[in-house]
Structure 1
């Protein structure tokens, strides 16, 4: 890091200092907003989150740019063009059409329509009263909890399973208890959590879905967003959490204009849930919820490259790691996939100190009438894996939820 100019000048205001750091962070060797947060907190003698400083910077930057535009005759024209573009976007929010020429504008408009419908429900969740973490941080073990296919909003009664929104909440409460017991056994002070998506049932795949949903698309999204954020908030009383939410799935995908599967991959309600969790838990120092803009998430676990995606986009499971590694030019040690509603592990190769594995995440929902008809049902569940340095994924807990 270049430490030169990382202190505020005697005539420099705190706002000017923040604007300078944000504009020239590459010059100063500031790789991310966590580092800028540390500098700003030290300079202001505060203890604000990176989210607070980042939002302040963007507000200052916007005000500064507008001021410069008004001072510059050319800038006035740019300001007028910006207002014109904003008016176009508002029109598109009502009259969105399927047009390749206006693809980017339409994407922004549809997303704003969605946020307009749910933003009033968003409010910061109070930070809980933390229980003291009695386990010292371990550098040789990390826990990874994975769950998926909650299908919140769906209700049914099958041969060996019954499901609705209340049962979904009960199963997640049971999962928290099982997780805390594993944390106690191994002494984890920090765990990763992977949500493999299909968090909601949705209602855009087929008309038959309408017969088995308790609430509409937006209500499902709002209720689940609030629930999972509160669930993580409670869990953080006992352990530090990094929450990774897979931002793309098939049930949560929006399919406007009778479009086909995957035609609008960035229009997915998992993105709304992911951003909601990130925003409302921003003040909780024991929770980190990174934002992802691809259809997968990836994390480093003791030097092992771990990826997770929903799985609906895979052509086959056996070659998934090979295909993704070739496509992205990146070696993958472990791949978590959901979508198939079955637990399982497939070893597809050998690393220096570990097996290269595909971990199939079971469904929180469990078997329904459709899986009964195919005789392919499986118990509701989740997975907790223990990773060890120079050993990889050494222990796997199959957690049954019904």
Structure 2
């Protein structure tokens, strides 16, 4: 047999390497399996069948594929770990950014609170709020007056309603007067004032911003001063007055609800302002919320009454949801937000929806939701809620 150079065992080439080279280069060398068997016999004296070398190459190819697969898997694993590391890195960066934002927002609100208190003291010097000792009630009845959806700052002028800052102040006077009238009629001892949110118009929608006559900071200042003056007036008429407050959706800092954080709300300024402005009135208490900043829980004549704005609750589900959530059974749940008069009992719990003080604006008109401007006062005794007065404005 004529043997050409590539077929021969190379210098420093082991027998195993020689065998691997022959079987892996069989086609390029122009060899048959019988040729490889003969070459192996010539070099080693070992007689091997054609099938032996065919199976040997098959194992080599299989092992090579397996090694390639393992390398590929290791590469994929390394790549996955790099991606996971990058994800964790971005998570940490996001957390740090959010943490810095929280600190910045807290600092901003703390600074704003300090500035408001300073401004309140300055206003108090220029425009002191007068207070007189009220006449003591002979009975033990209590009342809840609902303040909600004033939307101060918005201007409406349509067939169904007219509203502007001047009309706002006229309606507030009527609200205070009627609250005193109905409270005196029932010889109310303690008056609970629920601020259920959306006291300002805010910057929630583009249509609202167009209709606003004042920026939101000015809105909050005017409304906070108005509430302070109303509470002072009520404190002169009733033996004990308690003021509670929750956030709405129009008073949030961010217009986009998906970007908004519950704790970022201009509504928080109202109780700060009121507390500083009325601190000299001994029978007026500004009550902090115990469970949540968006939930009022009050003891009224020995009964639990809950107050929420309503933008996170459905009237048909709020009784069940809040009783389970708070693990308590109220006699009444008061809501705003819906801008119309509505009351219904659910398994012994009265769900009471307060109308809006601002009345029908252009947005409500366009979606065909017309309502009368009004607020409510509820009278309670030891048996529970005995009546509701709708104060038309």
In the TM superposition, residue 235 of structure 1 has moved relative to its aligned partner by: 2.2
Distance 2:352 2:266 in 1: 24
In the TM superposition, residue 215 of structure 1 has moved relative to its aligned partner by: 0.9
In the TM superposition, residue 368 of structure 1 has moved relative to its aligned partner by: 1.4
Q: Give the equivalent residue in structure 2 for 1:274.
A: 271
Q: Give the equivalent residue in structure 2 for 1:112.
A: 110
Contact kept, 8 Å, 1:342 with 1:378, in 2: the verdict is yes
Give CA-to-partner distance per residue, 1:304-345, whole Å, 9 cap, x none.
11110100111x211112111212222232110000001111
In the alignment of these two chains, the number of paired residues is 293
In the TM superposition, residue 109 of structure 1 has moved relative to its aligned partner by: 2.1
Distance 2:339 2:116 in 1: 29
How has the CA–CA distance of structure 1 residues 166 and 127 changed in structure 2, closer, same or farther, with 3 Å as cutoff? closer
- Which region of structure 1 is more displaced relative to structure 2, 376-385 or 262-271? 262-271
**Greater C-alpha radius of gyration:** 2
Distance 2:110 2:316 in 1: 39
TM-score by length of 1: 0.68
Q: Give the equivalent residue in structure 1 for 2:205.
A: 206
Contact kept, 8 Å, 1:340 with 1:362, in 2: the verdict is yes
Contact kept, 8 Å, 2:207 with 2:363, in 1: the verdict is no
SS in 2 for 1:237: helix
Distance 1:175 1:260 in 2: 31
Paired residues for 1:76-155 under 5 Å = 99-115=97-113, 118-123=116-121, 124=124, 126=128, 128-130=130-132, 132-133=134-135, 135-136=137-138, 138-139=139-140, 141-155=141-155
Contact kept, 8 Å, 1:278 with 1:290, in 2: the verdict is no
Give CA-to-partner distance per residue, 1:290-312, whole Å, 9 cap, x none.
12352111101122111101001
Q: Give the equivalent residue in structure 2 for 1:306.
A: 305
2:346 to 332, 345, 348: 348
Give CA-to-partner distance per residue, 1:129-172, whole Å, 9 cap, x none.
42641532x23x21111121001111110212110111111101
Contact kept, 8 Å, 1:118 with 1:218, in 2: the verdict is no
Give CA-to-partner distance per residue, 1:190-228, whole Å, 9 cap, x none.
21111211010012x222322111111111111111111
In the TM superposition, residue 113 of structure 1 has moved relative to its aligned partner by: 4.7
Q: Give the equivalent residue in structure 1 for 2:391.
A: 399
SS in 1 for 2:188: coil
SS in 2 for 1:291: coil
Q: Please list every run of 5 or more consecutive structure 2 residues that lacks an aligned counterpart in the other structure.
A: 1-94
Distance 2:96 2:128 in 1: 41
In the TM superposition, residue 262 of structure 1 has moved relative to its aligned partner by: 7.0
1:321 to 319, 336, 348: 319
Distance 1:98 1:309 in 2: 33
Q: CA RMSD in A?
A: 2.2
Q: Please list every run of 5 or more consecutive structure 1 residues that lacks an aligned counterpart in the other structure.
A: 1-96, 351-355
Q: Give the equivalent residue in structure 2 for 1:157.
A: 157
In the TM superposition, residue 267 of structure 1 has moved relative to its aligned partner by: 0.9
SS in 2 for 1:372: helix
TM-score by length of 2: 0.70
